[in-house]
Amino acid sequence: MKLPPIIDTTYGLHSCRLLIVTSNEVGQESEFLRRVRELCQGAGHWELDACFSLEASFKQLSSRCYDVVLIDGSESLPLSVSLEAIQERQPAVVVIAFAETIKQDEYAALFERGLQDLLTPEHLMTPVLKSSILNAVSRQRLVTHLKSKNSILQRRLEDQVGYLKKVINGTHDGVIIIDQQGIVRLANPAAVDLFDRNQGELLGSYFGYPLANERPIELTIESQKRGLLTAEMRVARIE
């Protein structure tokens, strides 16, 4: 799967839709909001929406999908509560926060809960702010790409395992897979019938026959239904 280009030759996203959530009233823009507006105005295809309360952002998040949500933290807009509420509405969105000051334990907890970056006043220079957004979106897209690729590989593996089980279960020869401790981990229907035991009894039990011989050996199996049976056993080791 080819990952779509993230950064162009001008070191900017081809397009980016941002939402900033702040507690300031309209017309009283915070320094963080002003810096973000300046960044978007000079970035070409970057779109910015602003909400002036967490509640107002809920409606915006339900009507549009965003690449990045920026939280302008304050006493009336606590970062932990805001982060959780935003993630509930758009789980895959990149979340970046700004705070004047923050405690060390809260800092760590926010990142553990999925915050991509935390900016402080010294980070409000445009290059630093732009770099934070670019890096956060790049990381998120990479994670999404890897999850998608892993999901595809997992489905392929499940298909292959399913096909292998179908082949094993369809053969008339008894097939038993045993771990290094001699415990039966898989037995096909032919093996279950040969040993005259049900699947539940055979799986998880100790096999009990010698496995050291690489040449075929004969086993004598006592069956309640058919008496003594002789079967040829071949051992194939899987590393």
Q: What is the per-residue DSSP string for 78-118?
A: -HHHHHHHHHHH-TTSEEEEE-S---HHHHHHHHHTT--EE
Model-wide pTM > 0.75: no
Spatial CA neighbour of 21 closest among 129, 97, 122, 121: 97
Q: Which residue has the tokens 């030759």?
A: 9
Looking at the predicted structure, is the pLDDT value of residue 236 above 60?
Answer: yes
Q: Which residues contact 106 (CB under 8 A, 6 or more apart)?
A: 79, 80
Question: What domains appear along the chain, each with residue ranges and CATH number?
Answer: 16-149 (3.40.50.2300), 171-233 (3.30.450.20)
For residue 55, give every residue at least 6 positions away whose Cβ sits within 8 Å of its Cβ, in sequence order, or none.
none
Residue position matching structure tokens 């004598």: 220
Instruction: Kindly report, residue by residue over 119-140, the tens digit of the pLDDT.
Output: 888 888 878 888 888 888 888 8
Q: Going by DSSP bridges, is the β-strand pair 117-119/94-98 parallel, antiparallel, or unpaired? A: parallel
- How far CA 74 is from CA of 22, 71, 193, in Å, comes to 8, 9, 71
The dihedrals phi and psi of 26, each to the nearest 5 degrees, come to -60, 135
Q: According to the model, what pLDDT value does residue 59 have?
A: 93
Judge whether 232 and 218 are in contact, CB under 8 Å. yes
What average pLDDT does range 187-205 have in this prediction? 85
Tokens 């001699």 locate to: 182
Closest of 57, 52, 99, 108 to residue 78, by C-alpha: 99
What integer is the mean pLDDT of 21-31? 74
Report the pLDDT averaged over residues 137-161.
90
